[in-house]
Amino acid sequence: MQEPARVRQLDEKICRLICPISAAMVGVCLTGVGLLRVAVAVEHKSTLADDLLSLDAVIFLVATLVSYFALRTQVRNHRLEQVADVAFITAMVLLTIACPLITYSFPL
């Protein structure tokens, strides 16, 4: 069964967005890890959030690389686009989970 051209174009646009956004989110996660490390050094209190953000950075990197390779292939590879999409959404969910951990790890 042939996919409509509109659906194919939408998929390619999404893949084109995942690549730069995921790359930027790697930087966000690394910044968060750095700030948490400073807080841990000052407070002498360990937290799960920095470990979660480190894992998150790796998943964002996977999303970046997979979406990049999906864009670079001569023939559109829908499987790579799906993997990039799942990795991006997974990483965003983990980042959202890390937020309350960061917020409530260091009381005022």
Tokens 């409509």 correspond to what residue? 4
pTM across the whole model: 0.77
Q: Widest CA span of the chain, in angstroms?
A: 60
AA identity, residue 108: L
- The two structure tokens encoding residue 98: 């890390």
Regions in the chain scoring below 70 on pLDDT: 1-12, 106-108
Confirm if 91 and 63 have CB atoms less than 8 A apart: yes
Distance CA 55, CA 102 (A): 15
What's the pLDDT score for residue 70? 86
What's the pLDDT score for residue 11? 63
What's the pLDDT score for residue 7? 52
